[in-house]
Amino acid sequence: MLWEEAISSVAEYVIKHSSTEDSVLREINEETARLFPEAYSMLSGHPQGLFLEMISTIKKPKYILEVGTFVGYSTICLARGLNDKGRLITIEKNKELHDLIRKNLKKAGVEERVLILFGDAMELIPELPYSFDLVFIDADKIHYPDYVQMIENKMTKGGVLLVDNTLWGGEVLNPETPEAKAIHKTNEYLASSDKWKTVLVPMRDGITIAQFVG
């Protein structure tokens, strides 16, 4: 069996043996595929969305930071795990997605618990007046090392960092592009820093889970 076929078969097996995607997320998933066929791979989707929801539900965070909103699929999954007084702050650079994100959050019933900030995360993160229990980074790969450095001063002890696309299609094995080099640098830092306890999970395109130990 070819490697590509094996990966596809495993992905189908994973979906079959995971809980079913609910109707709201399925509708958002299908709409995103129609509206953004070339960018559809940016969607966390199912079962990664379920994974994010489970991590958030286990953690029961008071404050969540998400860097990279896209259409709000992962935002919804993360927000579902917030504690009763919790809030999620999500940063998206593309202001044209505003109405779509709002629509999706409202559809999922989490709109009132989410603050959307539009702009450059490099400028916005340092100004955030919160300490975060959970952070999800899925934005401009070039700035991954910068994002990690910025959020270190904003993590609660024991807080959890999730970083998406940390395998980057396998390019991190021999990084040559700027994106692959930046992701590899991030992976190296999280694995070696005594501030983090880290595991890179080969789910989808790789997702790193790191706990801030201070």
Residue range 150-192, pLDDT digits in tens: 999 999 999 999 999 999 999 999 999 999 999 999 999 999 9
Q: What is the mean pLDDT of the chain?
A: 94
Q: What is the pLDDT of residue 5?
A: 59
Q: What domain range is 114 assigned to?
A: 21-212
Q: How many domains does the chain have?
A: 1
Q: Which of 50, 58, 48, 47 is nearest to 159 (CA)?
A: 58
| Tokens (6 digits) for 154 | 């904003």
Tell me the whole-structure pTM to 2 decimals: 0.94
User: Counting Cβ atoms within 10 Å, is residue 153 exposed (0-12), middle (13-18) or buried (19+)?
Assistant: exposed
Closest residue by Cα to residue 102 from 110, 94, 148: 110
Residue 9: band (very low, low, confident or very high) from pLDDT cuts 50, 70, 90: confident
Domain assignment of residue 31, yes or no: yes
What's the token pair of residue 164?
Answer: 């998406």
What's the CA gap between 179 and 172, in Å, rounded? 9
Residue 1 lies in a domain: no
CATH code of 98's domain: 3.40.50.150
**Angle between helix 23-35 and helix 98-108 axes, rounded to 10 deg:** 160
Strand partners, 120: none
Q: By mean pLDDT, which of 5-9, 21-25, 118-122, 163-167 is the weakest?
A: 5-9
CB of 139 closer than 8 Å to CB of 130: no
| Residue 115, beta-bridge partner list | 89
Residue 9: inside a domain = no
- Alpha-carbon distance values, 1 to 8, 11, 17 (Å): 11, 15, 22
pLDDT of residue 4: 56
Assess if residue 101 is contained within a domain: yes
Does residue 3 lie within any of the structural domains?
A: no
Note the pLDDT of residue 10: 80
7 pLDDT above the threshold of 80? no
Q: What is the largest CA-CA distance in the chain?
A: 52
Given CA atoms 154, 159, 165, 171 in this order, what sign does their dihedral have? positive
Q: Judge whether 181 lies within some domain.
A: yes
> Quick check: is 13 in a domain?
no
pLDDT over 60 at 122, yes or no: yes
205 within a domain of the structure (yes/no): yes
3-state secondary structure of 121: helix
Over 80: is that where the pLDDT of 8 sits? no
